[in-house]
Amino acid sequence: MIEKVDDLLEEMFKNELRATYGAVDVVIDPPTRQWTLGVNSPTLNLYLHDLRENNKLRGQQPAWTLEGNGHDVAIRQRPLIFDLHYMVTAWAKQPRQEHQLLMEALLVLLRCENSLPAGNASQVDWVTSPPASRLELLRRTHLPDAVDGLALKVAQYDMHINPRDIWSVLDNEMHPAIDLMVTLTVQPFEPLPRTLVQEVETRYQRWVATEK
């Protein structure tokens, strides 16, 4: 599941940045000091540094779903919701280039949930339910099983992690970064089949008391 989110973000940035910034390498590597020395062209780095369950959105009650011809029922536990925390950094030969690339990446993230232009939506073969946004279009391509969709949270204070701790572990100097949180549902549970009760039979029997 994580690698599919990686592919989704990589395609989104490559396609959107190509139109405004030009050719950009998008990599998913730890931005260590050794890695930095090998960067020779404008590069956007997507580093996943944390993954945890979103307990605030957890549902406690099981969901009942009818299957087949209506004679069977399956009980399925609600999916779990996880937050994936990415650190998005831009790398180039000059700081000004890095700042420009980082700003372009931020604009891509801010635009990705906006409505698609009518022309783009009409080119997709989902006539009955056309995708509403670029993010929804990519979600259907890379994460078709994520029926509850996909949500992004960009550069918010309540999701901030001390960057010094991350860069210290990476053994690298601090670098400007965008905090990106991707929230998606994960269904690890199989449905439990049960027989659907369609009629109830009641029997009556006369009870006669016996004398002792």
Name the CATH architecture for the domain at 2-53+81-185. 2-Layer Sandwich (3.30)
Round to whole Å and give the CA distance between 121 and 147: 19
Residue 48: in which H helix or E strand, if any? strand 43-53
Both tokens assigned to 106: 């931020």
For 152-191, how does the pLDDT look when each residue is reduced to its tens digit (9 = 90+)? 888 888 766 788 888 889 988 899 999 999 888 877 777 7
**Are 144 and 129 spatial neighbours (Cβ–Cβ below 8 Å)?**
no
What pLDDT does 159 receive?
67
Per-residue pLDDT of the chain (212 residues; tens, 9 = 90+): 788 888 889 988 998 888 888 888 999 999 999 999 888 899 999 999 998 888 877 766 666 666 656 667 777 777 778 889 999 999 998 899 999 999 999 999 988 877 665 555 445 554 556 666 777 777 777 777 765 667 888 888 876 678 888 888 998 889 999 999 988 887 777 777 777 676 778 888 777 767 66
Mean pLDDT of the chain: 80
Round to whole Å and give the CA distance between 187 and 65: 15
What pLDDT does 89 receive?
94
Indicate the residue type of 68: G
Q: Kindly list the domain boundaries of the chain, sorted by start residue.
A: 2-53+81-185
What pLDDT does 103 receive?
94
What pLDDT does 30 receive?
93
**Are 44 and 123 spatial neighbours (Cβ–Cβ below 8 Å)?**
no
Residue 136: in which H helix or E strand, if any? helix 134-142
